[in-house]
């Protein structure tokens, strides 16, 4: 017998929720209790949220920067990310990181777009060392 993963459980819950019956949530909770999966509910809910966001074409973005990003840049980022990920909606989670010298870092799922000054200096240094 193979073990069911939290991702498979989240996918099943997603399908089950489409029925929109009043007893749906109660049935899901009873299932998690019967299968002793309540301790894993946080991970299951995170995976369920990703599935729902994927289906609704919502992309959650974590933006780290040394200072607050202005609205014009935010709109430009939103336009770029909607096009790149074919998203209907971009949800920004801004994080101020005082360790950053400047620029910003974008994290989307498992992808990181590093536009920080520190990263640009590191790339320049690598380029100069290769040229020698």
* Residue 21 located in a structural domain: yes
My answer on whether 69 and 113 are in the same domain is yes
Domain count for the chain, please give it: 2
* Residue 94 located in a structural domain: yes
What does the alpha-carbon distance between residue 58 and residue 50 come to, in Å, rounded to a whole number?
9
pLDDT averaged per 10 residues, the chain (length 132): 82 83 81 87 91 93 92 93 94 91 90 91 89 65
Closest CA to 49 of 84, 94, 13: 13
Whether residue 51 contacts residue 17, with contact meaning beta carbons closer than 8 Å, is answered with no
My answer on whether 43 and 99 are in the same domain is no
Give the pLDDT score at 94: 94
My answer on whether 76 and 119 are in the same domain is yes
My answer on whether 83 and 31 are in the same domain is no
My answer on whether 50 and 62 are in the same domain is no
* Residue 25 located in a structural domain: yes
Give the pLDDT score at 132: 62
My answer on whether 110 and 122 are in the same domain is yes
- What residue spans of 1-108 are helical by DSSP H? 6-17, 24-34, 41-56, 71-85
Tokens of 121: 């200096």
**Which are the contacts of 118, defined by CB distance < 8 A and separation ≥ 6?**
100, 101, 103
Locus of tokens 């069911």: 4
My answer on whether 48 and 66 are in the same domain is no
My answer on whether 34 and 91 are in the same domain is no
What backbone torsions phi and psi does residue 16 show, to the nearest 5 degrees? -65, -35
What does the alpha-carbon distance between residue 22 and residue 93 come to, in Å, rounded to a whole number?
32
Which domain, by its residues, includes 91? 57-131
User: Which one-letter DSSP state was computed for residue 98?
Assistant: T
My answer on whether 41 and 74 are in the same domain is no
* Residue 1 located in a structural domain: no
pTM here is: 0.72
Give the pLDDT score at 75: 94
Give the pLDDT score at 95: 93
Give the pLDDT score at 1: 56
């Amino acid at each position: 017998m193979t073990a069911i993963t939290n991702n498979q459980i989240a996918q099943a819950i997603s399908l089950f929720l489409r029925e929109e019956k009043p007893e749906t949530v109660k049935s899901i909770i009873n299932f998690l209790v019967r299968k002793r999966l309540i301790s894993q509910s946080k991970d299951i809910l995170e995976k369920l949220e990703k599935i729902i966001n994927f289906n609704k074409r919502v992309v959650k973005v974590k933006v780290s920067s040394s200072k607050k990003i202005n609205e014009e840049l935010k709109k430009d980022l939103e336009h770029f990310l909607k096009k790149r990920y074919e998203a209907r909606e971009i949800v920004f989670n801004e994080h101020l990181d005082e360790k950053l010298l400047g620029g910003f870092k974008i994290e989307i799922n498992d992808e990181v777009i590093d536009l920080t000054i520190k990263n640009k200096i590191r790339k320049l240094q690598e380029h100069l060392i290769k040229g020698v």
